[in-house]
Amino acid sequence: MTHEEHHAAKTLGIGKAIAVLTSGGDAQGMNAAVRAVVRVGIFTGARVFFVHEGYQGLVDGGDHIKEATWESVSMMLQLGGTVIGSARCKDFREREGRLRAAYNLVKRGITNLCVI
């Protein structure tokens, strides 16, 4: 990667915000995937948010959506499961629940959602 390409990559995310959530049962590599999303997002200049407890956290909003930092993912790789949690969500199956989830993203200026 040339210096120019490296600099261009570091500005791709400026003005964007990414939320990452995990869904379904725990599986190997989920924490590594969450860590990768956070680190690449921050590297490219984006703000990155954790959505705790999967789609349920997305619907509930509030304290379930927290900004991530480079340091907040530094010890994730050696942990099992998913450190941000996942939960079944009946509300998300209905339009009203999905609208609440979308509102919680828009309210924080989140432009992208990564579901693992």
The fraction of the chain above a pLDDT of 70, given in percent, is 97
**Residue 114 phi/psi, 5° resolution?**
-110, 115
Q: What is the DSSP letter of 21?
A: E
Q: Which residue, 85, 82, 45, is CA-closest to 65?
A: 85
Mean residue pLDDT of the chain comes to: 92
Q: Is 62 left (phi over 0), alpha (psi -120 to 50) or beta?
A: left
Q: Which residue, 60, 59, 55, is CA-closest to 20?
A: 55
pLDDT level of residue 12 (50, 70, 90 thresholds)? confident
Higher pLDDT, 99 or 11: 99
Q: Which residue, 99, 114, 101, is CA-closest to 55?
A: 101
Q: Is residue 115's pLDDT more than 90?
A: yes
How many domains are contained in the chain? Answer: 1
CATH of the domain at 85: 3.40.50.450
**Residue range of the domain that includes 88:** 3-115
Model's pTM, two decimal places? Answer: 0.90
Q: Is residue 6's pLDDT more than 80?
A: no
